[in-house]
């Protein structure tokens, strides 16, 4: 059974936090002040905070984006760095260069591909698909891509899914991500390659980055994963042997509109075949 927890209740158990972004420190429209405060206070007592995001952005791009949102001056953000699915996936994409690849996703994700030597082409001339998301996730649905995915499957093209999240919280809406395209493609029999949460490559990068930040290896039992995604954050932590604080107000928020309840959280997570040691409505100190 998960235990309801404020970060201040459990902070002394951990040396480092791997913290999700969307649904925890950002609700899709703005940064969440309570979460920023909690992370800042954890760092003030000597803890390390590493953002661990399935964003297709590179880590530096994500950090700059969040700094602009929060108005942080250099060194003032309540985290020590970031590791992203985009960063973890670059090694996969580099191994497939020069491609050509059929690119799925908005143009703002294009910096991901810089320096990889990848060529891009229409589906009929591609060797694989690189999916960072829907081209316009505000107006499109996965169903709009059914014909393209069916054609790709007939051509036996693998898909590199740069963002394994199926949904992202944008204000009070849940919108589809590349993970939703990948799920539909797998259901058709297509091959999908992942590097982000809950898969090992992103955690390998995270541990290496934590070692750099801390100056030594941080034991797994001293790392707390924080996130709102049962099939990404919680499952990834479970597979890595990390304690997890599940944030219920993220993508599962609609299930708890009548109020936070730890037993309901446990049941919701069990439906995804996972469990978290700790749970909270929001990340607060």
| Nearest residue to 167 via CA among 18, 31, 23, 20 | 23
Q: Are residues 92 and 190 located together in one domain of the fold?
A: yes
Q: Are β-strands 167-170 and 173-176 bridged in parallel, bridged antiparallel, or unpaired?
A: antiparallel
**Residue 75 forms part of a structural domain:** no
**Residue 65 forms part of a structural domain:** no
**Residue 216 forms part of a structural domain:** yes
Q: Are residues 115 and 177 located together in one domain of the fold?
A: yes
**Residue 79 forms part of a structural domain:** no
Asked if residues 9 and 259 have their Cβ atoms less than 8 Å apart, the reply is no
Pick left, alpha or beta for residue 259 (phi over 0 → left; psi -120 to 50 → alpha; otherwise beta): left
Task: Kindly report the length of the chain.
Answer: 285
Torsion of CA 149, 151, 157, 163, to 10 degrees: -10
- For the chain, the domain total comes to 2
**Residue 71 forms part of a structural domain:** no
Q: Are residues 113 and 161 located together in one domain of the fold?
A: yes
Note down pLDDT in tens along the chain; length 285 residues.
Answer: 567 789 999 999 999 999 999 999 998 789 999 999 999 999 999 999 999 999 999 999 999 999 999 988 878 999 999 999 999 999 999 999 999 999 999 999 999 999 999 999 999 999 999 999 999 988 899 999 999 999 999 999 999 999 999 988 777 788 899 999 999 999 999 999 999 999 999 999 999 999 999 999 999 999 999 999 999 999 999 999 999 999 998 888 777 766 788 888 898 999 999 999 999 999 999
Residues 6 or more apart whose CB falls under 8 angstroms from that of 284 comprise 6, 7, 34, 35, 37, 38
**Residue 233 forms part of a structural domain:** yes
**Residue 72 forms part of a structural domain:** no
Instruction: Quote the CA–CA distance of 107 and 247 in Å, as a whole number.
Output: 31
Instruction: Quote the CA–CA distance of 221 and 215 in Å, as a whole number.
Output: 17
Domain with 132 in it: 87-194
The beta strand positions in the chain, using DSSP E, are 3-4, 16-19, 48-53, 81-84, 101-104, 128-131, 159-161, 167-170, 173-176, 192-194, 223-227, 243-247, 278-280
Q: Are residues 234 and 153 located together in one domain of the fold?
A: no
Q: Are residues 28 and 120 located together in one domain of the fold?
A: no
Domain end residue (candidates: 143, 165, 194): 194
Domain end residue (candidates: 152, 168, 194): 194
Asked if residues 206 and 50 have their Cβ atoms less than 8 Å apart, the reply is yes
Give the pair of three-digit tokens for residue 273.
Answer: 């075949």
Q: Are residues 128 and 189 located together in one domain of the fold?
A: yes
* pLDDT tens figures, 118-163: 999 999 999 999 999 999 988 899 999 999 999 999 999 999 999 9
Instruction: Return the CATH number at 267.
Output: 3.40.50.1000
Q: Are residues 101 and 134 located together in one domain of the fold?
A: yes
Q: Are residues 177 and 234 located together in one domain of the fold?
A: no
**Residue 47 forms part of a structural domain:** yes
SS3 content of the chain, % helix, strand, coil (to 5): 40, 20, 40
Instruction: Quote the CA–CA distance of 252 and 277 in Å, as a whole number.
Output: 17
Q: Where are the alpha helices (DSSP H) in 97-223?
A: 146-154, 178-187, 200-214
Instruction: Quote the CA–CA distance of 96 and 118 in Å, as a whole number.
Output: 8
Instruction: Quote the CA–CA distance of 193 and 178 in Å, as a whole number.
Output: 12
Instruction: Quote the CA–CA distance of 209 and 189 in Å, as a whole number.
Output: 35
Q: Are residues 106 and 189 located together in one domain of the fold?
A: yes
Asked if residues 162 and 112 have their Cβ atoms less than 8 Å apart, the reply is yes
Q: Helices (H), strands (E): how many in the chain?
A: 9, 13
Domain end residue (candidates: 150, 166, 194): 194
* pLDDT tens figures, 233-253: 999 999 999 999 999 988 887
Give the pair of three-digit tokens for residue 51.
Answer: 């953002």
Q: Are residues 209 and 275 located together in one domain of the fold?
A: yes
pTM > 0.85: yes or no: yes
Q: Are residues 175 and 274 located together in one domain of the fold?
A: no
Q: Are residues 212 and 270 located together in one domain of the fold?
A: yes
């Amino acid at each position: 059974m998960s235990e309801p927890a404020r970060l201040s209740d459990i902070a002394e158990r951990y040396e480092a936090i791997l913290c999700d972004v969307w649904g925890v420190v950002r609700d899709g429209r703005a940064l969440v002040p309570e979460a920023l405060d909690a992370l800042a206070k954890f760092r003030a007592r000597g803890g390390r905070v590493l953002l661990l995001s399935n964003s297709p952005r590179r880590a530096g791009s994500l950090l700059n984006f969040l700094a602009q949102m929060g108005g942080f001056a250099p060194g003032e953000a309540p985290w020590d760095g970031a590791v992203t699915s985009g960063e973890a996936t670059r090694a996969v994409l580099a191994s497939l260069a020069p491609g050509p690849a059929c690119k799925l996703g908005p143009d703002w994700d294009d910096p991901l591909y810089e320096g990889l030597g990848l060529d891009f082409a229409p589906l009929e001339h591609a060797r694989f698909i690189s999916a960072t998301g829907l081209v316009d996730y505000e107006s499109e649905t996965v169903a709009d891509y059914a014909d393209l995915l069916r054609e790709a499957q007939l051509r036996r093209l693998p898909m590199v899914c740069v963002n394994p999240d199926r949904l992202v919280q944008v204000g009070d809406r849940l919108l589809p991500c590349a993970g939703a395209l990948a799920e539909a493609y797998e259901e058709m029999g297509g091959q999908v390659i992942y590097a982000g949460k809950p898969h090992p490559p992103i955690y390998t990068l995270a541990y290496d980055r934590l070692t750099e930040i801390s100056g030594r290896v941080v034991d797994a039992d001293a790392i707390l994963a924080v996130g709102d995604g049962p099939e990404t954050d919680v499952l990834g932590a479970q597979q890595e042997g990390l304690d997890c604080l599940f944030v219920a107000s993220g993508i599962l928020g609609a299930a708890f509109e009548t109020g936070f309840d730890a037993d309901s959280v446990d049941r919701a997570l069990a439906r995804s075949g996972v469990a978290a040691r700790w749970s909270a409505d929001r990340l607060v100190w």
